[in-house]
């Protein structure tokens, strides 16, 4: 079992990495610039997302959109932080992947919440193409949330298979 300090340390490391990368992009890449890393596959860009993940709610009213997104983010963060704290007594199914998954989600949510609360938008800079399709730009926090959610699903699926046997 991963200790509480280690769990929250993972979250803090994600938040710091997210802040450092966003700061670097904001200082070194002009708005809407495109730096091709792997032609047709991966670019570094500098965009501002006023909505949620992948541009959801990007067109909503400014003040209400920000309040809703900050409120939902805070609620998710409180829930995840409580789960991370309680894990030794309330063990999630699937073993040690669950605390890491929750720590990634918490760190990513904190990173995007910081941007949203301080600026009203989130800096995105990773742009990926799959064939002719462009994936919406994202950042380190989005990646941590997605990887954490995927790990959590796999962890719970694995635990379900183990109890079914």
What pLDDT was estimated at residue 162? 64
DSSP secondary structure letters along 115-162: HHHHHSSEEEEEEEEETTEEEEEE-HHHHHHHHHHHHHHHHHHHHHHH
What pLDDT was estimated at residue 90? 46
Catalytic residue among 18, 33, 115, 142: 142
124 is catalytic: yes
Better-scored residue on pLDDT, 55 or 4: 4
115 is catalytic: no
pLDDT digits (tens, 9 = 90+) for 31-90: 889 999 999 999 999 999 876 554 455 555 556 666 777 788 888 889 888 888 877 644
Q: Please list, in sequence order, all residues whose beta carbon lies within 8 angstroms of the beta carbon of residue 164, skipping any fewer than 6 positions away.
A: none
This model's pTM is above 0.85: no
Round to whole Å and give the CA distance between 90 and 94: 12
Domain count, the chain: 1
Catalytic residue among 18, 33, 115, 124: 124
Mean pLDDT for 100-128 is 93
Q: 138: domain range? A: 4-164
């Amino acid at each position: 079992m991963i200790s509480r300090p280690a769990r929250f340390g993972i979250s803090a490391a994600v938040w710091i990495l997210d802040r450092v990368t966003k700061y670097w992009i904001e200082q070194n890449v002009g708005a809407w610039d495109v730096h091709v890393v792997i032609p047709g596959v991966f670019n570094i860009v500098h965009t501002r997302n006023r909505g949620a993940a992948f541009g959801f709610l990007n067109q909503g009213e400014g003040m209400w959109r920000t309040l809703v997104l900050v409120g939902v983010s805070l609620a998710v963060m409180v829930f995840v932080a409580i789960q991370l704290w309680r894990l030794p007594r309330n063990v999630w199914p699937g073993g040690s992947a669950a605390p890491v998954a929750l720590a990634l989600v918490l760190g990513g949510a904190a990173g995007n919440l910081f941007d949203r609360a301080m600026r009203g938008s989130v800096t995105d800079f990773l742009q990926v193409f799959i064939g002719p399709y462009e994936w919406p730009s994202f950042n380190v926090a989005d990646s941590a949330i997605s990887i954490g959610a995927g790990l959590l699903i796999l962890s719970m699926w694995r635990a379900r298979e183990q109890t079914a046997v």
